[in-house]
Amino acid sequence: MLRVGLTGGVACGKTTVAEMFAQRGAHVVRADEVAHDLMRPGEPVYDEVVRHFGRNILGSDGAIDRKKLADAAFGSGRIQELNQIVHPAVTARQEAWTNEIAAQDPQGIAVVEAALLLEAGVGKRFDKLVVVICTMPQKIERFARRHNLDLAAAEGEVTRRMAAQLPEEEKARAADYVIDNSGPRSELEAKVDALMAELRRLAQDSVRRG
Give, for all 210 residues of the chain, the pLDDT tens digit.
999 999 998 999 999 999 999 999 999 999 999 999 999 999 999 999 999 999 999 999 999 999 899 889 987 789 889 999 999 999 999 999 999 999 999 999 999 999 989 988 888 899 999 999 999 999 999 999 999 999 999 999 999 889 888 999 999 999 999 999 999 999 999 999 999 999 999 998 876 665
CATH number of 2-209: 3.40.50.300
List of residues 6+ apart from 146 with CB closer than 8 A:
11
List of residues 6+ apart from 116 with CB closer than 8 A:
7, 31, 83, 87, 164, 165
Interval 99-119: pLDDT, tens:
999 999 999 999 999 998 998
Q: In sequence order, what E strands does 126-195 have?
A: 128-133, 177-180
pLDDT computed for residue 156 by the predictor = 93
- Sheet containing strand 128-133, strands side by side: 27-30, 109-113, 2-8, 128-133, 177-180
What is this structure's pTM? 0.91
Contact by Cβ (8 Å): 178, 172 = yes
Buried b (16+ CB within 10 A) or exposed e, 68-96: ebbebbbeeeebeebbebbbebbbebbee
Provide φ and ψ at 38, rounded to 5°.
-70, -20
Strand, coil or helix: what is 165?
coil
pLDDT computed for residue 120 by the predictor = 86
Q: Classify residue 20 as exposed, middle or buried by CB count within 10 Å of its CB (0-12, 13-18, 19+).
A: buried
pLDDT computed for residue 19 by the predictor = 97
Q: Could you give the CA distance from residue 140 to residue 159 in angstroms, rounded to a whole number?
A: 9
Sequence ranges of the domains in the chain:
2-209
Q: Could you give the CA distance from residue 42 to residue 70 in angstroms, rounded to a whole number?
A: 20
Q: Could you give the CA distance from residue 45 to residue 109 in angstroms, rounded to a whole number?
A: 29
What's the mean per-residue pLDDT of the chain?
93
